[in-house]
A and B are shown apart, each in its own frame.
Chain A
Amino acid sequence: MTVYAVPNTEGSVVSFKPQYENFIGGKWVPPVEGRYFDEPTPVTGEIYTKIPRSNAADIEAALDAAHAAKDRWGRTSVTERSIILNKIADRLEANTEMFAVAESWCNGKGVRETIGADIPLAVDHFRYFAGAIRAQEGSIGELDENMVAYHYKEPLGVVGQIIPWNFPLLMAAWKLAPALAAGNCVVLKPAEQTPTTILMFAELVGDLLPDGVLNIVNGFGTEAGKPLASSPRVKKVAFTGETTTGRLIMQYASQNLIPVTLELGGKSPNVFMPSVMDADDGFLDKALEGFAMFAFNQGEVCTCPSRALVHESIYDEFMAKAVARTEAMVQGNPLDTDTQIGAQASHDQQEKILSYLQIGRDEGAKVLTGGDKATVPGFEGGHYIQPTIFEGVNSMRVFQEEIFGPVVSVTKFRDTTEALDIANDTLYGLGAGVWSRNMNEVYRLGRGIEAGRVWVNNYHAYPAHAAFGGYKGSGIGRENHHMMLAHYQQTKNMLVSYKWEADGFF
């Protein structure tokens, strides 16, 4: 067990600056209007730094820098870009502890998680795309003896990226690594709730990239996000967030005729088949941990397994164990490596979750455990929620809306057909889990569930090289895989005739 010192106190591995700036053209630039906003930590509710409150003029300055850099960056060899991405990964890895503690302070999540997941996954993501870009090839189609179609992958140029607050640095890595690998320049807006670790990342690796290749502009969606998403000077916008903003971003993109990738959340089913209970062994233990994954990252994950579907034949026995597993979770100081559940990312997030705990009860869902806010001694100003299990039916609001808290809604099913009906009765299709010792069963369920990612006998793994993205209302595009490169590239076809005579038309 390690308890990290609070940032900016004696012995801490993190020293936040009292104020950050925008990162534009390789320099730290104050916002044009000179305005800043206070950044609170959800761990205690206290203000720990100031962040630029930027607007359209700052976005334009970043776009100027990106456009000035794009031709040269787009022409660098893939070897050179790959080497730079690997160096970024190395530096980030060497500073894992600092970023892990800083991320915990920014977002509220436990340092256990940032050390074990957020930072190493971000590191690996840069390495993966460093490799993927070197292995990428165009193609040649030999159409006949005289005509050959050559296909080249070319960068889009300047792209805009809007990052969510639930995994601030990791989500930035998911978007930056493929965009930079493919030879694009980026203007990135972090979430206003959690910008700081992305700015620390730029401090750490900014010198590795040519000026203007990476630009970070901070601020609110309506003031800085909108001028970025609606700019005719970006060739693509990537966004992770919710559906109404996703629609607004598509609307802006339609005005500029540019593509978007969107990751808009889910209401992921986690299906437990009877064979899970066939033996009291390591597999059952793993399945129960899989159930408890609803509380991973305080439930602030787009793929949170927030609907558990348990076969009626094992329901009582399985749920008794699942409730016990949930009640054993350790909630507390996010900077303690023994803490499994930290703080929700913001006050309004906590309020929203509480409103769902209320409507769940009003609709008749039964609270099996939890159901209220939590208080962590010594962190009374922080935003904590008890891990909560609701029992109910799939038509209830708590089964249909992404609560984005440590809340799971459980229901039972009779057979595979009913499991699929319930699993697919949702607006979303991002993640799903299937647990069974019978591989034929998991195959049918896995193929039948309308979701972009089906975890079979595991949950919440996010390795690079496994495509991640949504069906239905969960979005457009796939991240985490080399196919993401296609979302940041155009295809140039050169159609070459090697015939030396006229075609004979005229």
Chain B
Amino acid sequence: MIDVTGPVQRVGATEEAVRLIDSLVSMHGPVLFHQSGGCCDGSAPMCYPRDEFAVGDSDVFLGTLPDAGGSPFYIWKPQWEYWSHTHLTVDVVPGRGGGFSLEAPEGVRFIIRSRLFTDAEAEAMAATLR
């Protein structure tokens, strides 16, 4: 697992998403997030019980979310290489289903809002990586 955390936050969550994560943790125990890609519910983050999904050397740790449990957020390294210039915010919308993600039965779905890093953020991250 590759840790790319540093002075600049790479992931965050909206208040509504944080409330949902806290509620999911109270039902299922600690959780983790793994950003998916590809078909159907791809491009959406998946939320699993923390010991359910094996992260490994091919994954990048982007940081912890601002929920009470500090849920970790991961992405597959080859995918991160295309996403690394964007900050990710976990949000939640009304929805139906989505793979094996824990929130689906609640009638909601986590989604990702993205924004480009500012020049200042990009410089700070580049300095850390040097």
Task: Kindly state the separation between the CA atoms of A263 and B40 in the bound complex, as whole angstroms.
Answer: 10
Q: Would you call B104 an interface residue if the criterion is a C-beta within 8 Å of the partner chain's C-beta atoms?
A: yes
Give B74's nearest chain A residue, CB to CB.
A244
Instruction: Say yes or no: B93 contacts A404, CB within 8 Å.
Output: no
- Asked if A355 is at the interface of the complex by the 8 Å CB criterion, the answer is yes
Interface size class of B (residues with CB under 8 A): 35 or more
Partner of A242, one of B42, B54, B86, B113: B42
Decide if B104 touches A220 in the complex (CB within 8 Å). yes
Contact of B29 with A by CB under 8 A: no
A242, B35: Cα distance in complex, Å:
10
Note all chain B residues with C-beta closer than 8 A to A347. 93-96
Residues of B within 8 A of A97 (CB): none
Minimum CB–CB distance for B27 against chain A, Å:
11
* A401 and B42 form a contact (CB under 8 A): yes
Which of A134-142, A222-230, A461-469 has 4 or more CB atoms under 8 Å from chain B?
Answer: A222-230
Q: How far is the CA of A300 from the CA of B114 in the complex (A)?
A: 21
The answer to whether A164 and B39 touch (CB under 8 A), given A243-B76, A248-B100, is: yes
159-177 of chain A: CB within 8 A of chain B: 164-166
Assess the B43–A401 pair: CB atoms within 8 A.
Answer: yes
**A355 and B40 contact, CB distance less than 8 A:** no
Docked complex Cα distance between A427 and B81 (Å): 10
Residue from A222, A229, A263, A300 in contact with B102 in the complex, judged by beta carbons closer than 8 Å: A222
Of residues A164, A263, A352, which shows the largest number of chain B Cβ atoms within 10 Å of its Cβ?
A: A352
Q: B106's closest neighbor in chain A, by CB?
A: A220
B96 touches A348 (CB 8 A): yes
Distance in angstroms between the alpha carbons of A211 and B102 in the assembled complex:
33
List chain A residues, Cβ under 8 A from B107.
37
**In the bound complex, how far is the Cα of B37 from the Cα of A226, in angstroms?**
19
Q: Which of B5-13, B44-52, B119-127 contacts A (4 or more CB under 8 A)?
A: B44-52
Cβ-defined contact, A355 with B116, below 8 A: no
Contact A359–B99 (Cβ < 8 Å)? no
B100 touching A473 by the CB < 8 A rule?
Answer: no
Nearest B residue to A223, CB-CB: B105
Contacts of A395 in B (CB 8 A): 82
* Residues of chain A lying within 8 A (CB to CB) of residue B83: 397, 400
Q: Which residues of A contact B96 (CB under 8 A)?
A: 40, 192-193, 346-348
Residue of A at shortest CB range from B38?
A265
Q: Which residues of B contact A264 (CB under 8 A)?
A: 38-39, 42
User: Is A441 interfacial (CB-CB < 8 Å)?
Assistant: no
Residues of B within 8 A of A358 (CB): 113-114
Tell me whether A244 and B43 are in contact (CB under 8 A).
no
CB neighbours (8 Å) of B38 from chain A are: 241-243, 246, 264-266, 302, 402, 428, 473-474
The 4 closest A-B pairs by CB, nearest first: A348-B95, A265-B39, A265-B38, A242-B42
Report 27 cross-chain contacts, Cβ distance below 8 Å, ordered by A residue.
Answer: A37-B107, A53-B105, A164-B40, A220-B97, A221-B98, A222-B101, A241-B99, A242-B44, A243-B36, A244-B37, A244-B46, A245-B41, A251-B54, A263-B39, A265-B38, A302-B40, A347-B93, A352-B111, A355-B112, A355-B113, A362-B116, A395-B82, A402-B38, A404-B39, A427-B79, A428-B38, A474-B38
Given contacts A265-B42, A347-B94, 12 further A-B contacts (CB under 8 A): A220-B97, A221-B101, A242-B43, A243-B79, A244-B99, A245-B46, A264-B38, A347-B95, A359-B86, A397-B82, A397-B114, A427-B78
